[in-house]
Structure 1
Amino acid sequence: MKNVILVVALFLAITIKAQDQKPQVPQIAVTGEGKVKVIPDQAVINVGFQNSGKDSKEVKTLNDEVVDKVIKYLKKSGIPATDYKTNNVTLYKSYDYEKKKQNFQASQTLSITLKDLSKYDDIMMGLNDAGVNTINGVEFKSSKMEDYERDARKKAMLHAKQKAQDYVSVLGQKVGKALLITDNSQTYFPQPMYKGGMMAMAADSAETKETLAVGELEVITNVSVTFALE
């Protein structure tokens, strides 16, 4: 009786395993890339300023005065309050061992989103006059970046499908539905190149100068796709 039960159990196990082992679907895995070139229409300007002195209250007051001038200038220039913010504020004490004196240094950085690039030179000159003495970088952006990213994704999928069709066309097969899609994209925006600086712009405001090379942004999307074959 036990042998009969054992045989039946073994038969059922084999039957269930056979049902679970479905035939493998022929498939192909490829990658695709989508690129969209974009002319920037916005810039994020990162600027800073610092003051030093023997008294902490004095250097902080000097910094506060610059902040006040910068904010008033930005408001006067029509820059919305939502388009600029303070990134970093520091106040620390340093000691000069040779002179045996201690000093305090206060610094602050701001980022300003400029949505009209034609105002770039005027804004930079005004910031210089307000007391800003450091440019920490300029980052270009587009107000329609989400639309361009969407276009790049579509191009990446079309590129992947075309690659799969190229591979299997010589085999007399066709590309079927997508079985797996993996987004491998990493957001990257090239840094712009700009000419001149605060001192260069302040040197001769009467002379017209080209101080900014906008160039292009390249939105790149990468995708891995596994297609079934028919």
Structure 2
Amino acid sequence: MMLKSLLLLVLCTSSVMTATSLPDNRHIVVKGEAVVRTAPDMANITLEFESVKAESLQAKQQVDTQVNKLLAGLSNFSIDEKSISTGRIFVEPNMRYDENDNLAKDGFRATRKLKVSLKQLSLLDGFLNFALKVGVNQIEHKVGVNQIEQIQLLSTKASDYEQVALNKAVVNAKQQGSSLASAFEAKLGRVYSIQSQEVGSHFGYGSNNNIEQIMVTGSRINAVPEGKYLQESITFRASVNVVFDLLLE
């Protein structure tokens, strides 16, 4: 009995939602979609500096030295102070498992993240090489390491391209509606409602020191030769759901 009542409630709720979202007269529901592609013209690079030392002060000092070396060389890549954001430095005990699989403190770990906006993509390869050299990437125990954590390829005109994609999605919805209405010997009427719209972009690629793969909307593509980091384009997608009145000829 309870199950029947629950089913009845769901059906009634669905009917109410349908009645409030769709007109009582003849209508047509279409989804307009559009894609706009453009080349990236800037990159946001996130770097993480890390040092593990016996003393907390030593770990902090090494990270400070690495960060200062990076900041001192940014002018060579046309990067000004407004294009840099730095996080706080964190110092904490460095924990690891000993030979008996017991968790024990092994010195102190200092970490700090920096985010750099690079406006000239032709300098990207040189900047990445410079960032790696700052930390030297030594492999000895308890020596600081510099990591390229993330790289995002962006467009400074992203909002403009998003609007272009949305406008094209609206046009696509009208075209689909007119085409379907004509196929059934009817005409497209006025817009009854715009139920939802979605605008998004896909760009950027994976984050590791080798940077061998570019990530595009979750798919992997073939590895690119060393020194080439630019994907072909940034994709801006937009969709809109529209309900039109339907007029018989």
TM-score above 0.5:
yes
- Counterpart of 1:54? 54
Partner amino acid, structure 1, of 2:166: R
- Counterpart of 1:3? none
Distance 2:130 2:233 in 1: 27
- Counterpart of 2:114? 110
Aligned pairs for 1:136-175 within 5 A? 136-175=149-188
Structure exhibiting the larger radius of gyration computed from Cα positions: 1
Kindly provide the CA deviation profile for residues 85-129 of structure 1, in whole angstroms up to 9, marking residues without a partner as x.
124642210245637653100111212111110011221122223
Aligned pairs for 1:1-230 within 5 A? 24-87=24-87, 89-96=89-96, 98=98, 102-131=106-135, 133-192=146-205, 197=210, 210-230=227-247
Distance 1:145 1:184 in 2: 17
Partner amino acid, structure 1, of 2:165: A
Is the contact between residue 75 and residue 81 of structure 1 (CA under 8 Å) also seen in structure 2?
no
Coordinate RMSD, CA, aligned: 2.6
Is the contact between residue 199 and residue 236 of structure 2 (CA under 8 Å) also seen in structure 1?
no
Distance 2:92 2:207 in 1: 32
Q: TM-score, normalised by structure 2?
A: 0.71
* Runs of at least 5 residues in structure 2 that lack an aligned partner in the other structure: 1-22, 136-144, 212-224
1:172 offset after TM fit, Å?
Answer: 2.6
| Bigger mean CA offset, 63-72 vs 189-198 | 189-198
Is the contact between residue 51 and residue 111 of structure 2 (CA under 8 Å) also seen in structure 1?
yes
Kindly provide the CA deviation profile for residues 17-68 of structure 1, in whole angstroms up to 9, marking residues without a partner as x.
xxxxxx9443211111010011111111122121111111111111111111
* Runs of at least 5 residues in structure 1 that lack an aligned partner in the other structure: 1-22, 199-207
| Larger RCO (CA under 8 A, 6+ residues apart) | 1
Q: TM-score, normalised by structure 1?
A: 0.76
1:177 offset after TM fit, Å?
Answer: 2.0
- Counterpart of 2:19? none
1:175 offset after TM fit, Å?
Answer: 1.1
Kindly provide the CA deviation profile for residues 125-173 of structure 1, in whole angstroms up to 9, marking residues without a partner as x.
2222322621112111111111111110011111111111122113332
Distance 1:82 1:73 in 2: 15
1:179 offset after TM fit, Å?
Answer: 1.8
Aligned positions, number: 199
Distance 2:153 2:235 in 1: 11
Aligned partner of residue 187 in structure 1, secondary structure? strand
Is the contact between residue 147 and residue 209 of structure 2 (CA under 8 Å) also seen in structure 1?
no
CA 1:159 to 1:96, structure 2 compared with 1: closer, same or farther past 3 Å?
closer
Is the contact between residue 33 and residue 222 of structure 1 (CA under 8 Å) also seen in structure 2?
yes
